[in-house]
Amino acid sequence: MTIQVTVRCFSHVREALGKNVLKLELEDDTDTFTVEKKIREMAGDNLDGITLRVAVNSEYMPEPIALKNGDEVALIPPVQGG
Amino acid sequence: MNISAKELAQWLDGNRKVEVVDVRREDQRKQWPLRYLETLETNLDQLSPEKLKTTTVLICQFGIITQRWIEAEDPDEVYNLIGGAQAWNAYKKDERDLSRYSRQMVLPEIGEEGQRRLLESKVTIVGVGGLGCPAAQYLAAAGVGKLCLIDGDVVDITNLQRQPLFRSDRIGDPKSDVAVESLSGLNPDCAVESIHTFISEENCQKLLAGSDVVLDATDTITARRLMDEYCRRKSIPLIYGGLYKFEGQVSVFHLNGGPSYADVFPESVTGGGTCSDDGVPGMLPGIIGSIQALEAIKVILGITPNLSGKLLLYNGLSHTMEQIELNV
């Protein structure tokens, strides 16, 4: 069984992948930590040293959680410009 | 033509011959009688420019309907009272002319009571750069009574593209001092204080104490963490703003026990570069700083919904805004 999730990219993630949104086909029960790892792999070394915060379906998730088919994962780096 | 409540009071005190006409509805006249003012009462549709023989001042509830009428009819020697009955009654309460705030006092969420609360409030802005400049301008104009501007930096030529309180001839001068000078003519109701220093562990408490709201317009996460920790301990709402190229983030922390910056971005995180490192279009901090200023007055006045418990993400390329619920 596989599930499809949408990943929404912000700031450094958007820049590293050159995309606002991407769709991922994943194994059932994949969690947010695995998605983050996958995105980091896709980004090469462009996200090294940048911590990402994760939201699922527009809700902040401080800890990894298992994903369901159709979930939307947002990866949000902190930004410091002012 | 427009006159303020203060000018009308001066005309009447100086015995200038002037006819004051209250064009409000009967229920408005009953509910909000004009303090110490004799008027003729009539409806606007019964009024024609030919009937007005002497200098006339028209009063509606908020000074908007009468202004439109005067613009359309273009009568001689007829004036609109700025802010209408609301501004007149506010002035007669304590001789304070609030007509400059009439366009925001007309909003039921603000009103005269809210305006007076803003005039009594103190906002501290930490960082007078891309975010701090627009936030300071709008908060001063809105009638925040005390603004404290904190920045240890001096004006640099590369600031000028996005920090419109500074001009080329002030390069090298302390930012907080120049900002106070630029704002000085903007609104005499707003006392602006300059503190030319960087926020630090040693001075944080002294600098932020007594603020109703602290606005985070810094460009380092270290400074942000200091403010976050102090504001958490003292339960002072902290209006956070951050930028990365064409994107910005805004949130309200510590409001009524709401989440803090540390809850969302815990200790270990890094935050990429500053605007100097990564680049930024000047308008982006203009937008984000203005949203921070809006949240600041909403927090002071208790206007909801606000961005407490939410992280707003703005993209200046696509002009999309998203909100993340911070259930932490």
Taking CA–CA distances from A52, the nearest residue in chain B reads B269
Tokens of A17: 């992948």
Tell me whether residues A81 and B275 touch, CB distance under 8 A: yes
Distance CA B104, CA B124 (A): 22
CATH superfamily of A2-76: Beta-grasp domain (3.10.20.30)
User: What does the alpha-carbon distance between residue B19 and residue A4 come to, in Å, rounded to a whole number?
Assistant: 74
B2-106 folds as Oxidized Rhodanese; domain 1 (3.40.250)
Q: A68: helix, coil or strand?
A: coil
Q: A53–B264: do the CB atoms touch at under 8 Å?
A: yes
Report pLDDT digits (tens) over B115-135: 999 999 999 999 999 999 999
- A58 contacts B324? CB cut-off 8 A: yes
CA-CA distance, B133 to B290, in Å (whole number)? 9
Give me the pLDDT at residue B266, please. Answer: 87
Which residues of chain A have a CB within 8 Å of the CB of B263?
Answer: 62
CB contacts, 8 Å: B272 with chain A: 11-12, 50, 77-81
Give the pLDDT band (50/70/90) at residue B80: very high
The domain limits of chain B are: 2-106, 116-325
Q: Which positions in chain A touch B285 (Cβ < 8 Å)?
A: 81-82
What is the C-alpha separation between B302 and B119, in angstroms, rounded?
A: 15
Out of B132, B247, B285, name the one closest to residue A10 (CB): B247
Which neighbouring-strand residues pair with B78? B56
Report the C-alpha gap between B168 and B178 in whole angstroms. Answer: 11
- Count other Cβ atoms within 10 Å, centred on residue A82: 28
Cβ contact B271–A62 (<8 Å): no
Per-residue three-class SS string for A35-59: HHHHHHHHCCCCCCCCCCEEEECCE
Cα B290 from Cα B286, distance rounded (Å): 6
CA distance B134 to B169: 20
DSSP class of residue B305 equals: S
- The mean per-residue pLDDT over the stretch A65-81 comes to 95
- pLDDT > 70? residue B270: no
CB < 8 Å to B318, chain A: 20
- Of A14, A74, A78, nearest to B265 by CB-CB distance is A78
* Mean pLDDT, residues A21-39 taken together: 95
Give the per-residue pLDDT at B111.
Answer: 96
The residue of A7, A9, A11 whose CB has the most chain B CBs within 10 angstroms, and thus the best one to mutate to test that interface, is A11
Instruction: Return the DSSP state at B34.
Output: P
Q: One of B133, B190, B231, B275 is an active-site residue; which one?
A: B275
Cβ of A51 within 8 Å of Cβ of B224? The answer is no
What mean pLDDT is predicted for residues B282-299? Answer: 98
B155-206: pLDDT as tens digits: 999 999 999 999 999 999 999 999 999 998 999 999 999 999 999 999 999 9
- Interface touch B326/A60, C-beta < 8 Å: yes
Is residue B133 among the annotated active site residues? no
From the list B241, B263, B268, the residue facing A82 with the nearest CB is B241
pLDDT in tens, B104-116: 999 999 999 999 9
| CATH pick for B116-325 out of 3.90.1150.10, 3.40.250.10, 3.40.50.720, 3.40.50.300 | 3.40.50.720
- Percent of chain B exceeding pLDDT 70 equals 98
Contact between chains at B271 and A77 (C-beta distance less than 8 A): yes
Residues in chain B whose Cβ is within 8 Å of chain A = 127, 129-132, 216-221, 224, 241-245, 247-249, 263-265, 268-275, 278, 280, 285, 311, 313, 318, 322-328
CA angle (B273, B276, B282) in 5-degree steps: 115
pLDDT score of B269: 61
CA distance A58 to chain B (A): 5
Q: Do B318 and A76 touch (CB under 8 A)?
A: no
pTM: 0.90
